Amino acid sequence: MSDVTIYWRPGCGYCSRLRSSLGSAADKATWRNIWEDDEARRYVAGVNNGNEIVPTVVIAGAAHTNPDPDVVLAALAS
């Protein structure tokens, strides 16, 4: 299982940009759709002051809101 989890939702341009920027490395992450996963939605709201901001990326247990794709790529490469 990946140490990188990406919380996303359909129609999110930032989520699409992140996925595209990751290229084939995107398959190494665990992707959770907050519109289909209530636990994921609650998690994202919990780490973003009640807001459902995506992408929220968890790397080694630390949440990053809309991180630079290079940060996520580096985590997926390690």
| pTM, rounded to two decimals | 0.94
Q: What CATH number is associated with residue 17?
A: 3.40.30.10
Among 24, 18, 10, 22, residue whose Cα is nearest residue 66? 18
Q: What is the CA radius of gyration of the chain?
A: 11
Residue 14's domain spans which residues?
A: 4-77
To the nearest 10 degrees (0 to 180), the angle between helices 69-77 and 13-22 is: 40
The structural domain count of the chain equals: 1
Instruction: Give per-residue pLDDT as tens, 53-77.
Output: 999 999 999 999 999 999 999 999 9
Task: Give 13-56 pLDDT, tens digit per residue.
Answer: 999 999 999 999 999 999 999 999 999 999 999 999 999 999 99
Cβ atoms of 47 and 63 within 8 Å: the answer is: yes
pLDDT at residue 1 greater than cutoff 70: no
